[in-house]
Structure 1
Amino acid sequence: MNQPKNPSVIAREALKRLAASHLPPTPANYQASYNQIADLPNVAPFPDVPLRQIAGLLAARNDTQVQQLIRLDEAIGRRSWLGVQEAVLAFVGAGNAGGGKDDAEPVALQVLPLELLAKLASFVENVLPALGADNDRVGELAAALLQALRQAPVDLAEIQSRLASLGQQALFAAEEQVEIKDSLLNLLRLIIENVGELSLDDSWLKGQVDGLLAVVQPPLTLRHLDDMGRRLRDVMVKQSEAKHRSLEAQEEMRQMLAAFIERLAAINESSTVFQGKIEASARAIANVKRIEDLAPLLNDVITATRSMAEGTSDSRLQLQSLQERVLATEAELVQLHLELDNASALARHDPLTDALNRKGLDEALAREIAGMWRKGTALSICLLDIDNFKRLNDRLGHDVGDHALVHLTRVARQCMRPSDTLARYGGEEFVILMPDTVLEQGIEAMTRLQRELTKAFFLSGKEKVLITFSAGVAQLSPDETGSDAIRRADQAMYAAKRAGKNRVVGG
């Protein structure tokens, strides 16, 4: 069976194929080439966001049209083009057929509140930047619609016509923006992978490359990008400090090596001088005629020998000291390289599960509380604890326990929304932050996670191990801190334990 190709290999082949085919490297061409090589269906993404925006602009004039708008919303939710087409045609047909109270009045004579017209104009102006500046037709239609909305008296027939034209062009522009974003992400992913491949010797880059590859995976959210930005800034500070100290240590090694060579040269020079003195003394001794002339020569030999011995002893001590400093610096360099290798993983994330650690949780909690106050929304906090985790460790070993923690975080991420935050609180305890979520919704979300966890068996060898957890959920009150809410969630979690485990209790 053929092994699947690496995404970076597919991306390079796609670019080569575009060049060989003399096709411009547009997002659509690149995506089509990539999908063909990867044996993926070349299907344009469903434009659910712009469709919902257009549906929100449609005003029902009778009960039938109200029902068709409901059908349209459901069809968009199912991503069914056929359902969208049928609902739109039925909506238009219901408007043309009449039967509503307002249909008796000609369209041109209907009056819309000025506030509604102003809000519609503001909506068009706010949406335009998201559609990009490449499509001149969108800008022209939007300018015409804005002019029609702001002229007096208002011609509703003209507004409806221009709004329909703008909606159609906006749909095309939105689809193009989605393709552009996907293609840019693919190119960015390719560049990041190539940087990782070209930097095989710089293992300290691995954490940053892995983190960037993870953050550019869909769905792409500002929350994840912000978190990755904070993580990389923290990592770069640590790596800069470690790198600076590493360079200092290397310079110290060079200086010690130079001193070592200088000391060896001094020893060699001293040995040469000593040898010369001994040879001179030997020649002088050979020419001695009287015994009394021998004493001074022997005294010179003894003095030279003593000086040589003292110099050799000093040099040995100095070389020994240099050797000790070299070994200490070498050990420090090894430690610094380990710090460089591990700095990325130690920033704000737990190295085992890659969930946020306590530091990352504190920052995320402060950010979510600030967002809650700014937007006036709810924030629910869950604290969950794996049931019978100690028994699992004792029976199957701590390695299996670690794999169980990783399994839980993997299933949790699959069930969580992109806006939720997962953190390892300690041991087998985890905290989940759920913005825009009231208490009842938080309890329902954790109950769904429990159901998914029972479906996704954890395997220890060939043995299926059922992992369950008890959870407490608390909604942050206006008069309490994040720590207070976590404490209430913790108390609710212990209530769930006492009630029989594998359940969720609100605090």
Structure 2
Amino acid sequence: MNEPKHPSVIAREALRRLASSQLAPTPANYQACYNEIANLPNVPAFPEAQLRELLGELPVRNEAQKKQLDRLSAAIAKRSWQGVKESLAAFAQAGESRLHEVGMHALAPALPGEFAGKLARFVECVLPALGEEDSRILSVAGELLLLLRQPAVDIGQVQALFGSLTYQAVFAAEEQVEIKGSLLKLLHLIIENIGELSTDDSWLKGQIDGLLASVAPPLTLRHLDEMERRLRDVMEKQGRAKSRSVEAQAEMRHMLAEFIERLGVMNQSSTEFEGRIEASARQIQQVSRIEDLKPLLDDVIAATHAMAEETAISREQLKGLQEKVVVTEAELIHLHQELDSASALARHDPLTDALNRKGLEEAMDREISSMRRKEAPLSVSLLDIDNFKKLNDSLGHEAGDRALVHLADVARRSMRPSDTLARYGGEEFVVVMPDTKLEQGIEAMARLQRELTKAIYMAGNEKILITFSAGVAQLAVDESATDAIRRADQAMYLAKRAGKNRVMGG
């Protein structure tokens, strides 16, 4: 039995197959080659919102149909295409059975025009998620859309076509989900491999961490856009600093070469001077007349002056080189600090400047290690802004973003320097509190609630009171960060159900 191939091996084979087959390098073609080699099924994103809208519009004519709608609701909650298909088929059959019972099968009413329009829009919204590779889905969907746009729509025909579309959509949806998962795994593999190949460039670590964080589920276009904008800024800064760092290192090497060359010249001059002095000494020993001594002394004095002058020049040149080395070394230190700073940006949320999930993970690892080393308490709080969706819907996403920034600013002002603030996702934040017991953590969050009440948030000319519900958990000795945050999350939901704007311990 053959062992399964590693994803990187499959990826390379898929790329070679694209090239050998002369196919366009599109994601769809690549995924088709990848899945063919790996024998993987595929599924797209589940259109829960559209199915819920459809569920609300289906007319109920008997108890059997009501029961099937309950089954459909449960299937949507479980994100089960098979359950959706079976419950819709049973719903339609229940309607037909009722018509047979009252002898009105031949007089089946037409589908209401408004509902037919909504059903058509639902099909149009779902189609892009299913891809364009399956001609059978496109054919059935086109036929169904054409039927739904007729003045009088026969329910039986709609039922047959919708059942066929649902059956085929199940497989297409599964395929799209598998495609998405496989591409994310491949992207993770590529990013991690780049990080391993670049072990000497510590400044690159922030970008790698940021990319890994950006492709971690759940994915949203807004989150990806923010990460792209932040990474582009980081890459630009790092590119400039890296280029100047390379130039500065080249300058250091050039100055070192000049230094060695100057030492060689000094050594050569010293050797020549020593030779001239020794020759003059031998000649002096052979002098018998005083008048013959003067030329020899003049030569010694001239050689001494030349040596002194050469030494002074070399001293000045070496001093200049030393000053250049000091300046260049200081610049290199500054450049490395800039690289570290730019790399650290990838660990922060671009909107609120709080830590992101990756930064929180690193902070929690440090604090947990410190907690166990010092045997000190450590508490963590998860807070969620109350009625944030309502604020977004009524005032717009820009006002919602400013509300998040406002909360983060107030939190930083009221926190201790040792505390850590991180944006956990959406309107959720995590506060890490070292040397803090559970009761102290609850009081700290209650104090933050009071400070937030005093700091009124202005949305234009409108005063908005921002509140949050929070849960606090004190880490057990052997507990992981994930488990502690999960307990804080559960306590936060209890606070929500208790009336919001509350803090509870978990």
TM-score by length of 1: 0.64
**How far is the alpha carbon of 1:252 from its aligned partner?**
1.9
Distance change >3 Å, CA 50–CA 28, structure 1 → 2: farther
Contact persistence 1:274–1:304 (CA under 8 A): yes
Distance change >3 Å, CA 78–CA 164, structure 1 → 2: closer
**1:137 maps to which residue?**
136
SS in 2 for 1:344: helix
1:71-90, aligned counterparts within 5 Å? 71-78=71-78, 87-88=87-88
1:234 equivalent to 2:208? Answer no
**1:97 maps to which residue?**
97
SS in 1 for 2:345: coil
**How far is the alpha carbon of 1:179 from its aligned partner?**
1.0
Contact persistence 1:239–1:343 (CA under 8 A): yes
Q: Aligned letter for 1:236?
A: M
**How far is the alpha carbon of 1:386 from its aligned partner?**
7.2
1:94, 1:192 → 2: CA distance? 53
**1:267 maps to which residue?**
266
Distance change >3 Å, CA 80–CA 347, structure 1 → 2: closer
2:358, 2:10 → 1: CA distance? 41
> Where in structure 1 are there 5+ consecutive unaligned residues?
1-9, 33-41, 358-367, 429-457, 494-501
2:81, 2:141 → 1: CA distance? 25
**How far is the alpha carbon of 1:185 from its aligned partner?**
0.7
Distance change >3 Å, CA 371–CA 250, structure 1 → 2: farther
**1:364 maps to which residue?**
none
CA deviation string 1:250-291 (max 9, x = no partner): 232133123223322332343344345334534543443421
Distance change >3 Å, CA 323–CA 197, structure 1 → 2: same
**1:110 maps to which residue?**
110
1:176, 1:43 → 2: CA distance? 2
CA deviation string 1:173-197 (max 9, x = no partner): 1121111101111111111111111
**2:309 maps to which residue?**
310
Greater mean deviation of Cα atoms: 104-113 or 169-178: 104-113
Q: Aligned letter for 1:354?
A: N
Contact persistence 2:130–2:173 (CA under 8 A): yes
2:281, 2:95 → 1: CA distance? 128
CA deviation string 1:104-131 (max 9, x = no partner): 5856662643x65555444433432221
1:479 equivalent to 2:460? Answer yes
Contact persistence 1:131–1:173 (CA under 8 A): yes
1:354 equivalent to 2:328? Answer no
1:163-182, aligned counterparts within 5 Å? 163-182=162-181
2:329, 2:341 → 1: CA distance? 19
Greater mean deviation of Cα atoms: 159-168 or 236-245: 159-168
Contact persistence 1:68–1:88 (CA under 8 A): yes
1:274, 1:18 → 2: CA distance? 71
**1:253 maps to which residue?**
252
2:282, 2:104 → 1: CA distance? 138
1:56-75, aligned counterparts within 5 Å? 56=55, 59-62=58-61, 64=63, 65=65, 68-75=68-75
**1:38 maps to which residue?**
none
**1:335 maps to which residue?**
334
**How far is the alpha carbon of 1:232 from its aligned partner?**
0.6
**How far is the alpha carbon of 1:169 from its aligned partner?**
1.4
2:205, 2:215 → 1: CA distance? 16
C-alpha RMSD over aligned residues: 5.0
**2:193 maps to which residue?**
194
1:164, 1:375 → 2: CA distance? 39
1:420 equivalent to 2:419? Answer no
1:373-452, aligned counterparts within 5 Å? 379=400, 381=403, 383=407, 401-402=418-419, 405=420, 409=422, 413=424, 419-420=426-427, 422=429
2:439, 2:98 → 1: CA distance? 63
**1:504 maps to which residue?**
501
**2:480 maps to which residue?**
none
Contact persistence 1:231–1:348 (CA under 8 A): no
**1:277 maps to which residue?**
276
> Where in structure 2 are there 5+ consecutive unaligned residues?
14-31, 360-388, 471-498
Distance change >3 Å, CA 90–CA 160, structure 1 → 2: closer
Contact persistence 1:238–1:343 (CA under 8 A): yes
Distance change >3 Å, CA 283–CA 330, structure 1 → 2: same
Q: Aligned letter for 1:163?
A: F
SS in 1 for 2:264: helix
CA deviation string 1:461-507 (max 9, x = no partner): 9x7665221334799876348xx75xx549999xxxxxxxx9828xx
**How far is the alpha carbon of 1:316 from its aligned partner?**
1.9
SS in 1 for 2:243: helix
2:243, 2:167 → 1: CA distance? 57
**How far is the alpha carbon of 1:339 from its aligned partner?**
2.6
1:11, 1:235 → 2: CA distance? 39
Distance change >3 Å, CA 172–CA 245, structure 1 → 2: same
Contact persistence 2:11–2:34 (CA under 8 A): no
**2:16 maps to which residue?**
none
**How far is the alpha carbon of 1:226 from its aligned partner?**
1.4
Distance change >3 Å, CA 45–CA 137, structure 1 → 2: closer
Contact persistence 1:52–1:76 (CA under 8 A): yes
Greater mean deviation of Cα atoms: 206-215 or 138-147: 138-147
1:245, 1:335 → 2: CA distance? 11
Greater mean deviation of Cα atoms: 325-334 or 375-384: 375-384
Contact persistence 2:51–2:76 (CA under 8 A): yes
CA deviation string 1:65-90 (max 9, x = no partner): 35642452244225578975785465
**How many residues matched?**
409
TM-score by length of 2: 0.64
Greater mean deviation of Cα atoms: 152-161 or 223-232: 152-161
Contact persistence 1:15–1:30 (CA under 8 A): no
Q: Aligned letter for 1:467?
A: G
Distance change >3 Å, CA 266–CA 332, structure 1 → 2: same
Q: Aligned letter for 1:98?
A: R
Q: Aligned letter for 1:479?
A: G
Contact persistence 1:75–1:84 (CA under 8 A): yes
Distance change >3 Å, CA 423–CA 128, structure 1 → 2: same
Distance change >3 Å, CA 107–CA 478, structure 1 → 2: farther
Distance change >3 Å, CA 305–CA 378, structure 1 → 2: closer
2:236, 2:313 → 1: CA distance? 43
SS in 1 for 2:343: coil
Distance change >3 Å, CA 348–CA 504, structure 1 → 2: same
2:230, 2:59 → 1: CA distance? 49
1:467 equivalent to 2:441? Answer yes
Contact persistence 2:55–2:73 (CA under 8 A): no
Contact persistence 1:348–1:356 (CA under 8 A): yes
**1:203 maps to which residue?**
202
